[in-house]
Chain A
């Protein structure tokens, strides 16, 4: 190395300066900050809010009305009587909001990374897993708020669940939102550029949505294509929809609960690893972020 002048050692081996550790209060402050920021961003982006509602409402008002007579639904659990097709697809549309919202979070993280905002989060002294979980929770809270606004509009359209169902569905929405948000988080670590997000729409969102019982019961799918039925059974979104559907009627679908929790753990662990600077994928995918 050509080094005409080298600085002298400046107490490099001296004792580190201690500072008080973060306590529970500080962690809660951090979590609240991330939640507030995500909420403010959402409120500031009215188009995002409106489009998140328009999508499921179009399905409810137009698609369901048109297909009501074509797609008959027999009495299957948790329903004890015949139900309107609009009622049948409402849990799936709740899942659709969570799915799109999870992917929207993914998009926003890729955007933040490209714009540099992500760095302000990643250089926080809190553990990175905690920052990512905070970000995930913030996204889930925002998406659950969207679901309830949708359910309120659906109520006026006479698409109603038992009153207690609106409370019982909350934990199901939370768990399903966590799973789909964690998937979004993982995808955001894999997507190199914003432009690649169209691929997510085509290869993740639509296949997950259509290969599920969101729009038609799985027995119907089995009748028409056993292979597609198998694919639906492997799709984690299937279980998110069923968890929500049963919760509307005060029931727990245990298989769905287990699958949703399991996939949440897998997606979240993978996302945390991907964002870990020592092991992750982001380091390899992201450029230095400057030209210096």
Chain B
């Protein structure tokens, strides 16, 4: 029997639909009327410098913060009004390390499985499968503390996949890793998008993580300054490559011109 991929189950609904979202920390505006949508089964890069608002946007998407202005939908489910339905479809790799260092890899993943209502027997099967996916099957019983930064990141990705999400959020997932680990993790996520039909939303400030075929959303000073396929963004910015386009777009951002706080 042919297995259904995530893509087969989505009926063309946007994986992520962010509509006119604004967010402030006191008087400081972190996001200003941010709007974009991500198609199911695509790899989308959220490109922005440090402080551009990427983590704030991810905190809103994952309902750590409430969306007070605008709306965010994950496969049609409003994150604020139907947070449970939305979060069930969402796998998250946070920028900060979030493994419990005193627990083993298996215990960390079991805990996550229980937070998604997955029983012990099913969890064991899934844990074995996701660790295989990220090439960490041999470290099941090792304490998280004993893993390298890259290995911890792989376990966090395995954890994010455990409940079979349709959309994977990765916030600066390669930060602090060596070149080889970065390339490996990025390749793994791209492979998952191709083979499983998962949508990936990859936040980064590193231009070399962007490929020509990617959908890219460029965030600068809390506003979306470009949204489209890389080649279109490069052309529209009248640049030779995405790196040059990014520099131009960031320079033109409203705050850079003194338009926002």
A: residues with CB less than 8 A from B are 1-7, 9-12, 14-17, 19, 22, 25-27, 29-30, 32-34, 36-37, 40-41, 44-45, 115-117, 119-127, 131, 277-278, 283, 287-292
Within 8 A of A (CB), among B42-98: 48, 50-56, 58-59, 62-66, 68, 73, 75-77, 80, 82-90, 92, 94-98
Contact call B114/A2, Cβ cutoff below 8 A: no
Contacts of B37 in A (CB 8 A): 7, 9-10, 12
Are B95 and A125 in contact, with the CB atoms below 8 A?
Answer: no
Closest approach, in angstroms, between the C-beta of B69 and any C-beta of chain A? 13
Interface centre among A3, A5, A121 (most CB of B within 10 A): A5
B183 within 8 A of A: no
Q: Which residues of B contact A29 (CB under 8 A)?
A: 114, 117-120
Kindly state the separation between the CA atoms of A292 and B25 in the bound complex, as whole angstroms.
14
- B130 on interface, CB distance cutoff 8 Å: no
A224 to B220 CA separation, bound complex (whole angstroms): 66
Asked if B185 is an interface residue, CB under 8 A from chain A, the answer is no
Which residues from chain A contact B111 at a C-beta distance below 8 Å?
Answer: 33-34, 36-37, 120
B224 at interface by CB-CB < 8 Å = yes
Check B92–A123 contact: CB distance below 8 A: yes
Cross-interface CB contact of B94 among A9, A33, A34, A116, cutoff 8 Å: A116
Nearest CB of B to A256, in Å: 35
Q: How far is the CA of A36 from the CA of B114 in the complex (A)?
A: 10
| Residue from A7, A44, A123 within 8 A of B90 (CB atoms) | A123
**Cβ A125 vs Cβ B66 within 8 A:** no
Given contacts A5-B236, A16-B77, A123-B62, contact A288 B14 (CB under 8 A): no
- Residues from chain B with a CB closer than 8 A to the CB of A41 are 100, 102-103
The interface residues of chain A lying within 8 Å CB-to-CB of B86 are 125
Are B96 and A116 in touch, CB under 8 angstroms? Answer: yes
Q: Which residues from B are CB-within-8-Å of A277?
A: 63-66
Contact A125–B85 (Cβ < 8 Å)? yes
Give the contacting residue for A4; candidates B19, B53, B166, B226; CB below 8 A: B226
Which of these, B55, B73, B224, contacts A288 with CB under 8 Å?
B55
Of B13, B50, B77, B117, most buried by chain A (CB within 10 Å of CB) is B117
Number of interface residues of B (CB under 8 A): 92
Contact across chains for B76 and A17 when beta carbons are under 8 A apart = yes
The 3 A-B residue pairs with the shortest CB-CB distance in the complex, in nearest-first order: A33-B114, A26-B117, A16-B76
> Given A2-B254, A15-B76, A119-B94, A125–B56 Cβ distance below 8 Å?
no
**Complex-state Cα separation, A288 to B115, whole angstroms:** 23
- Indicate if the CB atoms of A278 and B80 lie closer than 8 Å: yes
Q: Is the CB of B56 within 8 A of A288?
A: yes
A5 and B233 form a contact (CB under 8 A): yes
Give the distance in Å from the alpha carbon of A17 to the alpha carbon of B8 in the complex: 11
Q: Are B59 and A121 neighbours in the complex by a CB distance under 8 Å?
A: no
B87:A125 contact, CB within 8 angstroms = yes
The answer, among B75, B87, B119, B166, for a CB contact under 8 Å with A124, is B87
Indicate if the CB atoms of B117 and A30 lie closer than 8 Å.
yes
Residues of A within 8 A of B254 (CB): 1-2
Q: How far is the CA of A7 from the CA of B37 in the complex (A)?
A: 7
A44 neighbours in B (Cβ, 8 Å): 102-103
**Contact A40–B215 (Cβ < 8 Å):** no
The complex places the Cα of A290 from the Cα of B228 at a distance, in Å, of 25
- Which chain B residue lies CB-closest to A11? B12
Known A-B contacts A116-B94, A288-B30; the reply to A15 vs B11 at CB < 8 A is yes
Least Cβ distance of B9 to chain A in Å? Answer: 6
Given contacts A6-B227, A29-B118, A119-B64, contact A292 B249 (CB under 8 A): no
Cβ B75 vs Cβ A17 within 8 A = yes
Query: Would B224 and A17 count as touching, CB distance under 8 A?
Result: no
Of the candidates B112, B120, B224, the one whose C-beta lies within 8 Å of that of A3 is B224
- Decide if B225 is an interface residue (CB 8 Å cutoff): yes
- Chain A nearest CB from B74 CB (Å) reads 9
How far apart are the CA atoms of A77 and B21 in the complex, in Å? 62
Are A292 and B53 in contact, CB atoms less than 8 angstroms apart?
yes
Would A4 and B249 count as touching, CB distance under 8 A?
Answer: yes
